[in-house]
Amino acid sequence: MELSIKMYKVANASEYLVITGVGITDIKLAKKAWVLPGQSCTVFDLSPVNYTFEVQAMSAEKLPFILPAVFTIGPRVEDEDSLLKYARLLSSHDKLSHHVKELVQGIIEGETRVLAASMTMEEIFRGTKSFKQEVFEKVQLELNQFGLLIYNANVKQLVDVPGHEYFSYLGQKTQMEAANQAKVDVAEAKMKGEVGSKQRQGQTLQNAAKIDAETKIISTQRQGDGKKEEIKVRTEVKVFENEREAVVAEANSELAKKKAVWAQTAQVAEVEAAKAVALREAELQREVERMNALTRTEKLKAEFLSKASVEYETKVQEANWELYKKQKAAEAILFEKEKEAEAQKALAEAAFFSRQQEAEAELFAKKKEAEGLVALGQAQGAYLKTLLGALGGNYGNLRDYLMINSGMFQEIAKTNADAIRGLEPKISIWTNGGDTNDGYGSGAMKDVAGVYKMLPPLFKTVHEQTGMLPPAWMGTLPDNGS
């Protein structure tokens, strides 16, 4: 029977304890701890390790090159989550094991190739510092998922692949450019020296001639003004000759400078032509080597690919397909939700626009109705003003005309007739033919005269209702006192 013993373990300064088992849900990291029965304890080292690689990459122009690099990589000690990742995934392997080295090398080579494929060779060569920095950032991003940290990284100078000497040609180009520039500088210095020498000689001759002229002028001043003028003319002729010599020297220097530029251009053209031929040869050789490499790769796959690798790739593809289907389903649901939200937004905007148009239409109708009323009032005012002017400004005549024109009297008569329509009065006049002395004639005419006596009260009623007076030929209204 095996005896379980509780042990107390302590890790070194550069180590950590990884404890699993009874009472621990996942894993436990500690520098010192009791290891109980039913628990397992593993010690892993935190010290970083140097990994040396020579990454073969290819630029955007399909030009291969080698990137020698030394990476110092180890667990990220200041982050507990990173330590847990490293403990789960890599602590069971030795840091110098083939498994860990292949993992790190695969990440570095993969990120370097992807980055190099997006840049031209000129961009890689001229921006080496930024290229290295971006490689470090990409590699660190991938190493984070394993809890690893790049403590130091040193990328050496880019190296040509045998048979593809791009950097060698680039260096030769730089050397040729420097040599050509040196030749131009030498030619310019020589030109300046010759021009300066000619200028000094001219100045010497001018000064000598000037001194001679002054000496002769002083010695011959007493011989007459004619001799002095002759010497002065000779001096001016000598100065003119010196100036002409300086112009000739300057023209010669310009010619020499142009010859140097033409020679430089010819040499550059020769170098570029040789470079183009070499680049074409390198491309053809690279294509041949690529086809050979592909042939060898396919042959090795056919000979050494095992059933386990096939099953592993099949499982990976199935898992990727399931993940892809789930992602597409989630994207479809998200797309439907977005479309529903857009439709609701469009409906709300349409309803708002409809209400806005209705309000604007109602406002326009009210505005037009108000404008119509104003126009109608203005027209009626002009109409009344015209009638009042035609009637001599008599308001009573205007009122009578409007009431007659609008049929007011007919309406009054119709209203009074409707009031007594149901009574159906029957008027019978009986007379025995006797005469009276009241001045109205017979008895029948007396009754008719009584009817006419009723007209003034009727006119009074019309006057009270309308304010209009009857014409003079029909009579006048009775006074209140009569």
pLDDT, one tens digit per residue, over 438-454 is 554 555 556 555 655 55
Helix axes 443-453, 455-466, angle to 10 degrees: 10
For 397-412, what is the mean pLDDT? 78
Distance in angstroms (rounded) separating the CA atoms of residues 4 and 38: 8
H helices, E strands: number in the chain: 11, 9
Helix axes 307-390, 395-405, angle to 10 degrees: 120
184, pLDDT greater than 80: no
Contacts of 164 (CB under 8 A, 6+ apart): 63, 64, 65, 282, 285, 286
- The strand pairing partners of 16, in sequence order, are 44
200, pLDDT greater than 50: yes
Distance in angstroms (rounded) separating the CA atoms of residues 220 and 3: 138
Contacts of 51 (CB under 8 A, 6+ apart): 70, 71, 72, 73, 101, 104, 105, 108
Furthest CA-CA distance within the chain = 186
**Selection from 344, 338, 187 nearest residue 257 by Cα:** 187
Per-residue pLDDT, 429:
57
Question: According to the per-residue pLDDT averaged within each range, which of 8-22, 169-183, 326-340 is highest?
Answer: 326-340
Domain ranges of the chain: 1-45, 46-164, 396-475
Distance in angstroms (rounded) separating the CA atoms of residues 376 and 225: 118
Per-residue pLDDT, 468:
65
Both tokens assigned to 103: 């993992």
Distance in angstroms (rounded) separating the CA atoms of residues 145 and 107: 11
Name the residue with tokens 């809890």.
Answer: 147
Helix axes 408-420, 455-466, angle to 10 degrees: 120
* DSSP per residue, 120-184: -HHHHHHTHHHHHHHHHHHHHHHHGGGTEEEEEEEE---EEBTTB-HHHHHHHHHHHHHHHHHHH
pLDDT band at residue 337 using 50, 70 and 90 as cut-offs: confident
365, pLDDT greater than 80: yes
425, pLDDT greater than 70: no
Per-residue pLDDT, 216:
75
* Assigned architecture for domain 46-164: 2-Layer Sandwich (3.30)
The secondary element (H helix, E strand) that includes residue 56 is strand 49-58
Both tokens assigned to 449: 């005269």
pLDDT tens for each residue of 279-308: 888 888 888 888 888 888 777 776 666 666
For 229-247, what is the mean pLDDT? 82
Q: Decide: 477 and 463 in contact? Cβ < 8 Å.
A: yes
* DSSP per residue, 233-249: HHHHHHHHHHHHHHHHH
- The strand pairing partners of 43, in sequence order, are 17
For 120, phi and psi rounded to 5 degrees? -80, 165
Per-residue pLDDT, 266:
81
Q: Which one-letter amino acid corresponds to residue 2?
A: E
114, pLDDT greater than 70: yes
What share of the chain has pLDDT > 90, as a percent? 0
**Selection from 56, 57, 53 nearest residue 117 by Cα:** 57
